[in-house]
Structures are given as C-alpha cells and as structure tokens.
Structure 1
Amino acid sequence: MPSDEKPIAGDAYDELAEAYLEHEDDPYCTDLEFPAMVNLVPEVNGKRILDAGCGCGRYTEWLLDNGADVVAVDTSENMVEQTRERVGDRATVHQADLERPLDIADDGTFDGIVSGLSLHYVEDWRQPFTEFSRLLRPGGFLAFSAHHPLDDYLAYDVNYFETERERMTWTASGTDIDVPFYHRPFSEIINPLVETGFQLDELVEPIPTATFEEKKPESYEKRLKRPTFVCIRASKR
C-alpha cells in the first residue's frame, strides 16, 4: 500500500468512534463473537499481550481485568482516543496500521496477540501475520476473529475464491456510514497463517448463545444454521 494511502476503513471508523461503544452492546458482539473469543484466549495473567486493532478498547479492558500487561494499537486516531479514555494509563495505546510494520516493540517481546474483528479490513493477511510472528516469543499465541467467508459470500455479490473489497453500512447518530472490508476464501485465512510461522491450534465457528436468542429472536434460528464469524487460535512455531 502506498505510504500516503489511508487504511480502507480509517475514515469510517474515525466517524464511528463516538457511537461505537453502543455497537459493542449489539448481540452479534456480546452474545456471539466475544464469548467465543474469550474462551479461546489462554491464561493472560502476568503476560504481555498486544491488542491488535483495539477499536474502542473492549478487549484491552478485558485483558487488563484478567491481569495482562497490554499494548493496544488501532489505525483510527479517534478509536485510539476512545481506548485511552476507557482504560487510562493501565495500557499503552498507539495509533498503528496493521498493513504496515509495527514499530512498537522489539522482536519476541509479547506472550500473546488478540485481534477482535479487525483483520477483515486488511487485504493480505501475510503482512500483519509476519509482524505478529516477529513480535511473539516462540510458543506465543495469536487469537483473532473475523467475518466468516461463507456469510460474506451469501450476503454480498462476491466471487468466493477471490479476495474482494465490499462495503457494509452502519448507522451512527442517524447517519449511514459505508465501512469497506475484504471478503476472502478460507484458504486466504489459513495459508497466510501457516506461511508466516504459525500452527493452527483451534478454530471455532461460534453459534449464538441463549442471551442472543432473548435479544435478537428474529435472527436466532438463522444464525444457528449459518455462520457469522470465524475465531482462531494459533501459536508461533
């Protein structure tokens, strides 16, 4: 990506930052993706963890509350400010682009990396995975979540086998905001992971919880049969 080109969702998330805390309460986050992800993350107490694509700090806060020493990064300046306001001086928070080198720490200085619903804004995952591998100590873990390729394929007019840019529309303060992201096939999730020095430990396609059914009954049956997210834990070889 040219050095003067902004990340594809940077402007959208700068606009969404003020309203994003409300989005965190959406059942798709609180009762589908988040429970699956926190179950994948191993013990973090006393460990140094990178929150890659921190948004407004949901995982940063959870990691801190579970005893981790946290460094958080996000491409959106406004999201970085939201995270700083949320956690204060409990974590170190930087503005950084996952599509570029992460000049935030020395090699092998993190025990784990968590990336919740951020990587689908990156076209080629080899770049962030290469950086994650560099930053992790041997045996360190990477846990991440993203759009499920099948859900994108069914929801948008895409070629399943290609990595293609699409747009979803979110509403913030009564205004519709287009948020671009990339659909990719499953091969472009797993192959970049293996090519950059990771081994796949566990893959979860989360199903909705009982609280999801209570909050969003109109979507519950559909989401019992059709995946929404994919959550993966891998370790550095």
Structure 2
Amino acid sequence: MPNRWCNSAKIRREQIESGTDLTFNLVFKPLIVSLISNLSPRNVLEIGAGTGHLSKELFNIGLSVTAIEPSKGMFEVAKEVLTTSNVKLINCTSFELEKDEIYEVAFSHLVAHVVDDLLGFFHSVGQHLKKGGHFIFSIPHPCFYNEYKGFFGNEYSYMTPMAKNVSFTITKDAENIISGVPYHHRPLSEYINKLVESGFAIDGFDETYPNEEIQEKYGTKWETPRYCVFTCKKL
C-alpha cells in the first residue's frame, strides 16, 4: 500500500494548494481542524499524513504535531510542505511507530478504508494514545459512497465487506487519474464493532454535507453525504 501513492503525491499537492480539491479545502480541512482544536490537545499525531497539509494547518494554529507517512513519495512531498514548520515527520506506519510515542489526539484522514487489517490498525492507534485521548478519522461514507463512485457495480451489497483496487479523479481535475488505490467497503457496523473491540467509545459522528454555497462550486448538488468522520475516545 505505501508505494501506491508515490506517483500521485505531486498531483495531490498541486490539487490542494491550487484550491482545485474543493472537498479537502472547503469540507475536510475546516471540519478536522475544528474537531481537533476544540479538544485543546498538548500534542497531536497524524497517521497517514499524505502531503502534510493538515499537519501544517494544525501547526499554524499552535499545536505540537507529529506526522507519520509510509509512502516514500508522499513523505518527500510532505517534507517540502512542512519545511517552514516544526512538525515532526516520520516515514513509517502506525504499526512501526516507537511504542513510547504517546499522544492526546491521533487522527487519520481517508486512511482506515485502505488498510487490510482494520482491527490491527485501530489497536495500533490505541497504543499511541493516552487514556481518555481521542482518535478522529475520516472515511468515504459506507452507506453512500458506492452510489456516488460506483466502484463495485452489480456485485455491491452494503452488508458484504469487499475490496478492490480503484481509480478515481476529483471533481475539478478530471484529467489526473489516481489509480491502483486499495479500497475496502465495510458496513458501518464493522467500523463500530472493531472500534469497541479495540477499546474505543464513539464520542461523535459527522456526515460531510457542505452548505449550498460550497456545493455550487462543484457544479452539481451532493445527493447524499459522501464522507463521514468518527470522533472516538480511548477508554
């Protein structure tokens, strides 16, 4: 999985910094930054930092941030993006992070649906959180995303976990196809039950649905929420 993003790292940076990626800039960034800043953590861990832009935003509002990213291509781009910050950037997965690294908040943006071992992933996050700490993560909304993207076609069944490598574009940049990305469809119950099994309680759940002004920028209205964000507390 880590190397799948290498070739698209520079594309993703350009999409974010140019403002072409409406969903990242206008939907996810304000929501995730708000959720984390409201918790007033002393330190934050980003798991799967991608291009580093979310960690940079959190650093800019005064938070102490460590970012981990397994993809070498993404890591190199994130290193450039974070040059002017004090974000600590590490080229590793949550499974490989040193065990004594403990944080008050961990978050991952569009990571959980690409990992094969979901339970192991949640456990690996929990190992790096203090008791009472929070884990915030976003995924494509299991109830609606296949309706939007049509990745699974006629074989799709909401209650049946399934996986495949997919290709996609973002709304305002149809020319750049990001391909070979692993995608796991799992019903919400699987996420919830594995969170509970990993020692988390769910503190909040957001379904992303932009206001009309933002939706107009896409050129078409969102029929349903396309993504969702879990806020979980380590027990």
Q: What's the TM-score, normalizing by structure 2? A: 0.85
Contact 2:207 2:228 in 1 (8 A): yes
1:1-237 to 2 correspondences below 5 Å: 7=1, 10-24=2-16, 25=19, 26-43=21-38, 47-88=42-83, 90-98=86-94, 101-106=95-100, 109-154=102-147, 155-157=150-152, 158-170=156-168, 176-178=177-179, 179-218=181-220, 220=221, 223=222, 225-237=223-235
How far off its partner does 1:16 sit? Answer: 0.1
- Unaligned runs of 5+ residues in structure 1 are 1-6
Root mean square deviation of aligned Cα: 2.2
Amino acid at match of 1:96: C
Count how many residue pairs are aligned between Structure 1 and Structure 2.
222
Paired residue secondary structure (1:203)? strand
Q: What's the TM-score, normalizing by structure 1? A: 0.84
Contact 2:3 2:72 in 1 (8 A): no
How far off its partner does 1:51 sit? Answer: 0.5
Q: Deviations over 1:115-152 (max 9, x none)?
A: 11122111232112111111111111111101100223
Cα 1:84–1:173 change in 2 (3 A) is: farther
- Unaligned runs of 5+ residues in structure 2 are none
Paired residue secondary structure (1:90)? coil
User: In 1, distance between residues paired with 2:106 and 2:58?
Assistant: 11
Percent of paired sites with the same residue: 25
Amino acid at match of 2:125: F
How far off its partner does 1:45 sit? Answer: 5.4
